[in-house]
Amino acid sequence: MASEDENPTPEDEKARPAANVSPSPGPPMKDGPGPRSATRGAADYSAKDITVLEGLEHVRKRPGMYIGSTGITGLHHLVWEVVDNSVDEAMAGYASRIDVTLLADGGCRVSDDGRGIPVDPHPDPKMKGKSAAEIVLSVLNAGGKFGGEGYKVSGGLHGVGVSVVNALSARLTAEIDKAGNRHVVEFARGGKLTRKLEVVGRAPRGRTGTTITFWPDPTVFETTEFHAQTMSERFRMMAFLNAGLELRLSDEREGHEHEPISFKYANGLVDFVRHLNATKDPLFKDVIYYKVSDVDIGGEAEIALQWNTGYNEGIHSFANGIATIEGGAHVEGFKAGLTTVINKYARAGKTPRLKEKDENLSGDDVREGLTAIVSVKLRDPQFEGQTKGKLGNTAMKTLVQKATNEKLAQEFEENPKTAEAVIKKALDAQRIRNAAKSVRDAARRKSGLYGAGLPGKLKDCTGKDPVPSELFIVEGDSALGSAVNGRNPVTQAILPIRGKILNVERARVDKMMGNKEIQSLISAIGGNVGEDFDVSKARYHKIIALCDADVDGAHIRTLLLTFFFRQMRPLVDAGYVYIAQPPLYSTLVGKQKHYLKDNSARDAYIAENPTKKHEFSRLKGLGEMDFDELRDTTLDPGKRTLLQVTVEQAAIADEIMSVLMGDDVDSRKNFIVTNAREVRNLDF
């Protein structure tokens, strides 16, 4: 769940949280330059300064505006754009299978059995008789999703998808089976037409569909090597969200060859919830499921939920197949309906579990241990919020809330044992919540946990602006000394922690709040914790885990990330969490010392200098580094490398956290064995 961007420039903006939630992070980048100041007066600004970009040139000039970055996240975004078009065909009821193949020559092929892109000439005279297929593939803001009858519901509403893929590919070919014929059109670098659409023969009997094959442009991307595991995770989720749709992934690359992996789930969201709860202990056997639609608002809602014995809430929401990581109207409606139904049931009957004098169960109480998928489909979704990941259609709140009130109440009436299990867990959560409140109050009085008081071991920065401020979390006193001496005291703060912090995946809130290291993190960062966390009150806009490159360091990093993901999730969503990347090696060339990030960087250096002999020193642990060495390799923004932690697909991140940090040892072992080949440069 790490991305390669740090201090992104406008042309290389950071990729938003999910798309890539993977056990192995993408390649890191050096810190970008700071803001540029104007050096010319307004009088110097004239027509000669205006650049007119033709066709898809703007995409190549500013790829970050369209795909987030030119690193591994942006590379995979090309695949998502093409696959999303095929998924839209499935949502429209015209496709049942999508095949994705990673080719031996570095290309990627996406094939579906949908209707096929239209091939007839476009009626608009401005298009000069161009085929619809050529327009879709090479013109921005062109597609069948802007109000016509091509798609009533779709995920790709911006209309730039496949044309952006074309712009950023060295080559792209489209094969379209339609009306009994196979049509082919081809483009070269930047979307330049090299082969006009033509019929090359008959399509296989009865076949319709589109096959897009593209080769990412190595002059645009930092890497053109796809990660099969990242794709598997994404395709599995797509299959869950579209019951009955099959997605198949094949890998023909040397050293990666394997039989196609197929994802197909007849029960859709029900299977999704079972999958997420597979490493947990469900409170009851069956997954609760309901689906409703409303013709008047042109939308439908589909919901599946099940409680487990754990303490974390996992509500994952989608609109037209797009992950709404900030929630929105549909989630608000679900939460409101859920709380109302459970409180009403707890007060009903001859022996109510909640008496008249008792306080209501809170939303946090009823959602403890809940795993739920809230998926809506609607004609005109309105996305808002910081990441455009929040659904704003208020009509969906009413639809989901009403459906939850009715369907969940009916479920409880028909299955009282299920209701009793849920009520009991919520009451236990309420009791623990009240106990934790006492712990928080005591901590507040003692240490100013949420007030002005800061942990005594924090070496804070003198600057008060949170935007440039950075908090480095280091393990141990020896690393603390080097970090303090090597930092910029104006913008860089250092917080030492002792050993491995509490695993919040397995701990209830009262135990978590009683942990001194957790208390230090909360008070240093600011903004509170859990449901009360307010990212706007965070004291730093970079929270950087600075850990040794060994097994213990990796474990500490994982514990920190688990805490941030579970208890300060908006911090991750905002892109404020980073992992420091101290280099593994150094070598002297003359009198100048060069630092090399990992084994691959060392091997590449040797390959570029085959006639020279170099001695490579393995760098010591952070606590054993001199302060100037730590400064030059890890702290200095102009020289360091950071990984930005992102969550593009929260459901996948939730699953990985549960597997890696939960109690199921067999699942954790299987995960590690399965994903071992995706780990690069492992050297502990």
Specify the DSSP element, H or E, that contains 102. strand 97-102
**Number of residues that make up the chain:** 684
List, for residues 494-538, the tens digit of each pLDDT value: 999 987 788 887 777 778 888 889 989 999 999 998 878 999 999
* Cα atoms in the Cβ-side hemisphere of radius 13 Å centred on 236: 17
Could you tell me where the beta strands, DSSP code E, fall in 257-398?
A: 258-263, 288-294, 299-307, 314-319, 322-323, 370-378, 383-384, 390-391
Rounded-to-integer distance, Cα 655 and Cα 277, Å: 8
Rounded-to-integer distance, Cα 76 and Cα 674, Å: 21
Overall average pLDDT of the 205-231 stretch: 93
Rounded-to-integer distance, Cα 362 and Cα 338, Å: 10
Active site residue 380: no
Q: Is 90 exceeded by the pLDDT of residue 487?
A: yes
The CA distances from residue 241 to 87, 162, 210, 398, in Å, are 10, 22, 22, 22
Q: What is the DSSP letter of 576?
A: -
- Start-to-end CA distance of the chain, whole Å, equals 20
Active site residue 550: yes
pLDDT of residue 391: 93
List, for residues 275-313, the tens digit of each pLDDT value: 999 888 999 999 999 999 998 888 999 999 999 998 889
Tokens in use for 584?
Answer: 């593994």
Q: Is 70 exceeded by the pLDDT of residue 41?
A: no
Residues 6+ apart with CB under 8 A from 392: 328, 329, 382, 383, 384
Task: Report the range of poorest mean pLDDT among 95-104, 220-229, 338-347, 542-551.
Answer: 542-551
Which of 112, 460, 548, 629 is labelled catalytic? 548
The secondary structure of 157-178, three-state, reads: CCCCHHHHHHHCEEEEEEEEEE
Helix spans in 52-97 (H): 57-61, 64-67, 72-91
Q: Is 90 exceeded by the pLDDT of residue 588?
A: no
Overall average pLDDT of the 152-159 stretch: 49
Tokens in use for 383?
Answer: 């996305």
Tokens in use for 45?
Answer: 């600004």
Overall average pLDDT of the 123-152 stretch: 69
Overall average pLDDT of the 162-176 stretch: 95
Active site residue 548: yes
List, for residues 433-482, the tens digit of each pLDDT value: 888 777 666 655 554 444 446 888 899 999 999 999 999 999 877 788 88
Contact between 539 and 453 under an 8 Å Cβ cutoff? The reply is: no
User: Which residues does residue 181 pair with via DSSP β-bridges, in sequence order?
Assistant: 178, 202
Q: Is 80 exceeded by the pLDDT of residue 55?
A: no
The domains of the chain, with CATH numbers, are 60-263 (3.30.565.10), 270-435 (3.30.230.10), 448-582+644-678 (3.40.50.670)
Overall average pLDDT of the 135-147 stretch: 67
Question: What percent of the chain lies above the pLDDT cut of 90?
Answer: 46
Give the 3-state secondary structure of residue 191. Answer: coil
Overall average pLDDT of the 415-441 stretch: 86
Sign of CA dihedral 391, 396, 402, 403: negative
Contact between 622 and 631 under an 8 Å Cβ cutoff? The reply is: no
Q: Is 60 exceeded by the pLDDT of residue 563?
A: yes
Which of 294, 510, 552, 663 is labelled catalytic? 552
Which of 120, 550, 626, 628 is labelled catalytic? 550
Contact between 409 and 341 under an 8 Å Cβ cutoff? The reply is: yes
pLDDT of residue 442: 62
Rounded-to-integer distance, Cα 321 and Cα 156, Å: 9
Residue 421: pLDDT band with limits 50, 70, 90: very high
Place of tokens 């690359």: 253
The CA distances from residue 282 to 168, 204, 285, 287, in Å, are 46, 47, 7, 9
Q: Rank 9-18, 108-117, 660-669 by mean pLDDT and report only the highest.
A: 108-117
